[in-house]
Amino acid sequence: MYLLAKFGMEYESRTTLEKITDASQVQMLTEALLAEKTKFELAENDAMMVHAVYGKRSANGEDSGATVFGHHTWWLTTETRVLSHTREVVADHAGARYMMRPDFLLNFFTLAPSMAQVRRTYQHLFPSTLGLELSRRMNSTVVRQILDELKEAENYDEARRLSVMSRSADRIKSDFRRRHIRSLNPIKPVTQWTSGD
C-alpha cells in the first residue's frame, strides 16, 4: 500500500485485466510461455500482464506517447524469459515495449533531483562545466554524436522534439541490455566509454 499511496501507483485486479485484454491473444502467448514456465498459472499470469499493459495504454489514450516521459503504463518486473516470446506482440504495437527494468525505477526515485535543483544546476553548470566534464570522460565519437544531435534538434519543432524525447525515455526504461550506457543510439554500432568510467 505504501508504494500505491506514495507514488500514485494503481493495483489492477485480475477481473480488470481480463476486461482490457483479448483472451485469445493471452491464450496464444500462454501456450508459448509454457516451455519456459513450471506451471500453467505462471505462464498465464505473464501473458496476461504483457497484454494488459497494452490494453491499459489503449484505455488511457497512451498510444500516442505524447509526453516527454513516454508511456505511463508498464509492467515492472525482473522476468526476462518472456521477452523472447513477445517480439511479435511488441511489433504489433509499433515497437512500444511493455516491461520496465526495476533498476531504472529505483534509480529514478533515489537519484531524481528536485525541479529547483535542476534549474540551479542548469543555470550554473550547463553547458560550460558539464560539457567539459562529459567530453573529458566520453569517447570522442559519442561526444561528436551528442553535438550533432543537439544541432539537429534545434531545427525540430516542439512537437517533433517531444516525440523524440518520449521515444528515447521509453527506450531507456525498457533497455534490459543497458545499451544506452555504451551508445546513444542502439541501432548504430556500440561505442564504448573510455577507461575513465
pLDDT tens-digit readout, 64-123: 655 667 888 888 888 888 999 999 999 999 888 999 887 777 676 666 666 666 566 555
188 within a domain of the structure (yes/no)? no
pLDDT tens-digit readout, 29-55: 999 999 989 899 999 999 999 999 999
187 within a domain of the structure (yes/no)? no
Residue 187 region, left (φ>0) first, then alpha (ψ -120 to 50), else beta? alpha
- Our count of domains for the chain comes to 1
186 within a domain of the structure (yes/no)? no
pLDDT tens-digit readout, 106-133: 676 666 666 666 566 555 544 444 444 4
Q: Report pLDDT for 9.
A: 73
**Domain region containing 70:** 1-181
196 within a domain of the structure (yes/no)? no
190 within a domain of the structure (yes/no)? no
Q: pTM for this one?
A: 0.58
For residue 110, the cross-strand partners are: none
Q: What is the 3-state secondary structure (H, E, C) of 37-91?
A: CCCHHHHHHHHHHHHHHHHHHHHCCHHHCCCCCCCCCCEECCCCHHHHHCHHHHH
Query: What share of the chain in percent tops pLDDT 90?
Result: 27
66 within a domain of the structure (yes/no)? yes
